[in-house]
Structure 1
Amino acid sequence: MTSSGAHDRLARWREHEATLYRVVPYGGLALGTLLALVAPAPHGLGVTPTVALAVAAGCWVTWFVTVHPDWQSRRKLMAVYYAGLITFAAALVAASPWYGLFAWIGYIHAFPVLPRRWRIAGVTATAALIATSQGGGLAIAISHWPLWLLLVLFNLVVAGSVSWFAMVAEQEDAKRKRLVAELGETNRQLTETASENAGLHAQLLTQAREAGVLDERQRMAREIHDTLAQGLTGIITQLEAAEQTRDRSADWRRHVDNALALARESLTEARRSVQAVRPEPLETARLPDALVDLGGRWSALNGVRADVATTGTPRPLHPEVEVTLLRAAQEALSNVARHAAASRVGLTLSYMADVVTLDVRDDGAGFDVTDRPAPREPGGGYGLTAMRQRVSRVGGELAVESEPGGGTAISASVPALPGGAG
């Protein structure tokens, strides 16, 4: 049940109840007057005084109930109305016992117009008037007062039962009002929550879109560095070597062929990077074999001995972990070729229980290692910064040890996530 539906039902019930309060007094007054005229009481007043009292009682009800229905909320004024109503009912019952039909209205009007503590007095007075009417009038009630007392007690029991049911109904009505109010408040809060959730949802979508754009931008930057940048560096190196060996046809051809091979390989890797596909070496071989192939090709291009070793038991790893280790090896070898002037490089892939480590050591020139983050390299590269970011993305750590003239050792340790793990 919605709060609006419950509110509409309660409003309709209130309207019917108000109509009943307004109409019933006139019905009781008209029926009592008709019976008083048709069958007058032997000890009652005359016709004229009786009708005059009935008209006055009707005007009293009309003024307070029909003409000014909004007065019902003014408790003190309605107490005056109820006192007048009981007074008119007593006079009419004294004039004719048939007006007990009008006095009965005191039961109905006691609850909407009187405060709670005065309702008992109003109901008791009404019960006395009803007992007088049932006993045959005021004169007979006085002469047969034991019967009158019995009738009063009987009507008090009936009135008490009616009052009890009325109070229960009033309590239920109060509960219903509270329920309607609570439902309205709940619906208001739900509406506000829905509006807030809609705003948060839009904000989250915006943040997710921005985060996705930034993440994709960073991924493409890493991939471009690991494929195009390194490939172009190798191509430039080979073309420069070809320029220096122009007078030696065989060496010139070898360097040019190496440059063409690097261009084709870089183009292939660039396409795979855009499509977010694993590097080609990992599509056709396991990680240890891919590293052996990488070391062999790098050694042939740069004329530097590269030894690749594997310890532990090789096993399939999560694709992201394998790509991270392969890219770290490519970056380390590229740095050796550009900066180290080394005569020997060693790559060691170590499979342990929970960690896989890639160590790359060279006997080159080395450099000063500081705690400051590595700056972006000239020419657009990211060097150790990109390598560290890659390793950190899979929950790993990158350690660099070097000193001038003492070579460089790079160690990338990553979690040994099994293949297919999320």
Structure 2
Amino acid sequence: MSSEGLVSCDTFIVMRDSTVSGETIFGKNSDRPKGEIQEVVFIPSKKNESKTLKCTYIIVEQVPATYAVFLSKPEWMWGAEMGANEFGVVIGNEAVWNRLSESSHDLVPRLLGMDLLRLGLERSKTAREGLEVITGLLEKYGQGGQCSNIIHDFSYHNSFLIADFQEAWILETADKLWAAEHVETGYRNISNCMSITTKIDRCHPDLKSRAKSEGWWDGVSEFNWSDVIGNTSGDLENPGSRFSCGRELLKERCEGSKFNVKNMMEVLRDEASGINRPSGDFPTAGSQVSILAENSGIADIHWFTATLCPTRSIFKPVSFSMPNLLTDATSSDSDKSKDRKHLLWFKQDESTSNTFLQNSIEDKYIKSALEKRTRESFDTNLFNKAVEEELALYAA
């Protein structure tokens, strides 16, 4: 099964030269099959004694140490749709299809794109290192396996937006082949389409030779990744596509280098573009916004919804400078969960909460997180406090 008309996801980056604070701002909406639960969890750093690691489907080689991460993830899989690590690396991924997409091959259990994302976060200190981790594992193990526990025979290849404060990398894959674009200024977005064209800053070592031998490329004309690899999902040129709409939403808000955290939340909440899907077969199941600082004395802040539809949810802030133990109200492994629906998800699903009060709570915690991030440490976990207030709102 593959159709960009049915599925959607969007990831955004605005670099420091275009933001009001001179910091980098990341955002992603994760749209997933209706009925799938997305949880937000904290995984601490670890010294690993085992030489192997079981991901969603396959076992890979483990590394001696892994880094602490916050993840927004479908509850049934090992991997994640998006997240951040303790060194200020953030990653989001998208489903893509291309000339190498073939369900009989792609459904063979390998690493899911979401596994690659989590592995990239757990094993990298910079965005560039994250790129190298993901591409190295992709080339060694490949990608594949059922991408849903709800939809039968659902598979896809992946694109990624990998960023830290200093730079971002767009990584697009086709089976084990890949191309990457370096982003240092301005803004960039990815959707369910191959968006890299001729600006290829790194790629699979055999990409061009294979493209020529397969007859995909004449070996003379300028190499265009999107054209050569077969962009069979999404549309780069259609002004009504989510990719084009997302780019325009960023452009409007980056005018005068005034982009801020609230602007990214506005982009993720935009329904007219299809970026925010409040209902349907592939609703928006979780959202993330992150602000990444250059100064190590200033904390990065990551806002997660952990619930359906960002227009019905509150972005709640968390940082590695806060006490890291997260509330079990956003974990499907909690005793409070019902049929794998974590408590916050379950209560939101039942609620017809007041939007004005939601906005008021969110604004309060945005202000509090941004004010306190200059201190050496937070004395409380603001994510947990915001969840408590959100639960109280749903119970009202």
What is the TM-score normalised by the length of structure 2?
0.21
Structure number with the bigger relative contact order (C-alpha 8 A, sep ≥ 6) is 2
Task: Give the structure with the larger strand fraction.
Answer: 2
Q: Which protein has the larger Cα radius of gyration, Structure 1 or Structure 2?
A: 1
- Pick the structure with more helix per residue: 1
TM score, norm. by length of structure 1: 0.20
